[in-house]
Amino acid sequence: MSATLVLANKGYSSWSFRPFILMRHFAIPFDEIVIDLGEAQTRANILKYSPSARCPALIDGDLVIWDSLATIEYLAETYPDIPIWPRERAARALARSLAAEMHSGFQALRAHLPMNMRRAVKRRELTPEAAADVARIEAAWSDARQRFGAGGDFLFGGFSAADAMFAPVVNRLHIYDVPVGTATRTYMETVMALPAYRDWQEGAAAETWRIAKYEEI
C-alpha cells in the first residue's frame, strides 16, 4: 500500500491526529497533505480529496476513506499481521467499544478543552459536564489497564487503535492541567513519549497557521 493521508492543521485537528499516530507508530508508509482549517477556501481544498469536506481522509489508489475510525478499520484489514486491534477476542471487543465511545461521545470535553498541540500548560477549570467526561475516561482507561494491560504500558498492553483514538484526549488533559490520578498521568506520559506523538507535535510547532478561537482559551 502506498497511501496519502490528508490532514487538517496538526495544531488543532484531533481527528487527523488519530490515524496519523497509528500509521506512524506501526511504520505504515504514507505521504501526507496538510490543509489549513482557517482559510476561506478550506472547504474547497478538502473537497478535492474528501467527499465529506472533512479531514482526515486516507487515499489508497482509487479508494478514499474519509473517517478516522473507518480508516483505522481499513488499515487493520489491510495489515492483518500488525496488532492494530488487540489479538484477544475479549480485549478486542472492549477496545472497539472504547474507540466507538470516543468517536461519538465526550462532547462536553471536546467543546470545553479543544486540542491545541502548541498551548502552554495552564489550568482551565472544568464545567460539571466536562468533569463528568474526564471521570468516565479515567474509569475506562483504568478498567482496560486492569483487565488487559498487563503485557505493556498502554490500554491493552501494547499500543493499539484504542490508544490512537484517545491520543488527542491525552493532549487535552495535559495542556489544560486537568487534575487526574497517578495511573492516568503515567499513561499520559507514556503516550506523549511516543516518537509518533512527538513527530505530530513537531509538525504542529512548525505550522504558522493560527485560529484565534483556539489560541484565546
140 plus 102 within the same structural domain: yes
Bigger pLDDT: 217 vs 170: 170
Return d(Cα 43, Cα 25) in angstroms, integer.
29
Predicted local distance difference test score (pLDDT) of residue 26: 98
Predicted local distance difference test score (pLDDT) of residue 209: 80
Q: Is residue 44 part of a domain?
A: yes
Q: 3-state DSSP call for residue 24?
A: helix
Total structural domains in the chain? 2
Question: What is the average per-residue pLDDT within 4-29?
Answer: 96
Predicted local distance difference test score (pLDDT) of residue 37: 85
Q: Which of 41, 51, 38 has its CA nearest to residue 6?
A: 51
Question: What is the average per-residue pLDDT within 1-11?
Answer: 91
Host domain of residue 154: 89-198
Q: Is residue 208 part of a domain?
A: no
Which DSSP helix (H) or strand (E) runs through 65? strand 63-65
CATH code of the domain in which 56 resides: 3.40.30.10
Predicted local distance difference test score (pLDDT) of residue 112: 96
What's the whole-number average pLDDT of the chain?
Answer: 95
User: How many CB atoms neighbour CB 45 within 10 A?
Assistant: 17
Bigger pLDDT: 96 vs 37: 96
Return d(Cα 188, Cα 25) in angstroms, integer.
16
CATH code of the domain in which 97 resides: 1.20.1050.10
Predicted local distance difference test score (pLDDT) of residue 1: 65
Domain boundary among 82, 109, 135: 82
**pLDDT greater than 90 at residue 216:** no
Contact 129, 108 (CB under 8 A): yes
Predicted local distance difference test score (pLDDT) of residue 38: 79
Q: What angle do CA 169, 208, 17 make, to 5 degrees?
A: 25
Bigger pLDDT: 40 vs 97: 97
Question: What is the average per-residue pLDDT within 179-201?
Answer: 98
Predicted local distance difference test score (pLDDT) of residue 213: 75
60 plus 135 within the same structural domain: no
- Record the cell numbers describing residue 162, joined without a space: 484504542
**pLDDT greater than 80 at residue 2:** no
Domain boundary among 82, 103, 123: 82
70 plus 165 within the same structural domain: no
Contact 187, 141 (CB under 8 A): yes
